Amino acid sequence: MICQIFIFTFHIIKVLMKNVIITLFFLISFSIYSQKKELSFTKDSDTVYWMKYNTDVNKMFDLQPIQENKNEIVFRIKNHCSQIEISKSKDSVFGKIEFYVKEFDQFKDSTTTFKKQYILNSVTVNQIFHEIDSLKINSIPSDNLIPNWQQGFDGTTYIIEYKNKEQYSFKHYWTPEVQTNINEAIILESFLNRVYAITDVEKINQLFNKEIPFRSWMCYGSASVATRIMTAQEYKEYKKKKRQFERKNKT
């Protein structure tokens, strides 16, 4: 009798465990499916090369991937040294500019980086969203899908990312201002100029440059190096601040 009860109990537990496993399987499958659906790429995206570049930049400067922003709508513009990100969630908007540089040291291969974030107010963010909508920026495909768009090694490549609840677009544009008679390039150049004017990015960049704790630095993927010219006293102060910066970043 006891043996029969044990067998019956074991059978019940086995059935329950099987049901739990099946339920967990479906929950996990649904979660994965939902995530894939949310992050599906738009048809006019291009991720062959620039996606890896973008991932490398994010890792080097500890920048949050756009997919990790949980707001309903997220839009980001990135160049070699900075990125502007704006987002919406219900009735609220958010925005920021992040600048980032890598130390250049002619005597060693430095991996030291510096970044700083500047918050944008809601008026500025809403102005940028208005420009995106009025110029239909999200309808412009990546430059490799635009006929006659020229590529080169100098100039500036802009990466534009956009995410909503349904899709994610990843597009790049090499130096829109040098493209000849291409309507999409004209629209993009106008849009970028307006955004940089609205955010007063040049003024913020000057503030950032003053705070960079390196004597020489460069942007990611750039061959040019910026060097601060110093007097003997300024160089002494720079060495002091650099030691403080290095100690702070070791802890």
pLDDT tens digits for range 42-87: 889 987 889 999 999 999 999 999 989 999 999 999 999 999 999 9
Looking at the structure, tell me whether residues 32 and 69 fall in a common domain: no
Looking at the structure, tell me whether residues 101 and 26 fall in a common domain: no
Kindly indicate the confidence band of residue 39, based on its pLDDT and cuts at 50, 70 and 90: low
Question: Is 199 in contact with 185 (CB distance < 8 Å)?
Answer: no
Average pLDDT, stretch 170-195? 96
Highest mean pLDDT (candidates 37-46, 79-88, 214-223): 79-88
Looking at the structure, tell me whether residues 160 and 100 fall in a common domain: yes
Average pLDDT, stretch 119-126? 98
Q: Which domain range does residue 45 map to? A: 40-250
d(CA 38, CA 222): 33
Looking at the structure, tell me whether residues 9 and 77 fall in a common domain: no
Give residue-wise pLDDT tens across range 123-160: 999 999 999 999 999 999 999 999 999 998 888 999 99
Taking all residues of the chain, what is their mean pLDDT, rounded to a whole number? 85
Looking at the structure, tell me whether residues 4 and 55 fall in a common domain: no
Look at the chain and report how many structural domains it folds into.
Answer: 2
Looking at the structure, tell me whether residues 223 and 128 fall in a common domain: yes
245 Cβ contact partners less than 8 Å away, ≥ 6 residues apart: 114, 213
Looking at the structure, tell me whether residues 187 and 156 fall in a common domain: yes
Average pLDDT, stretch 186-204? 97
Looking at the structure, tell me whether residues 20 and 77 fall in a common domain: no
Tell me what pLDDT residue 157 has.
93
Tell me what pLDDT residue 140 has.
97
CA neighbor of 170 nearest in space, from 35, 82, 41:
41
pTM of the model: 0.78
Position 224 pLDDT exceeds 90: no
116's enclosing H/E stretch is: strand 113-119
pLDDT higher at 201 or 108: 201
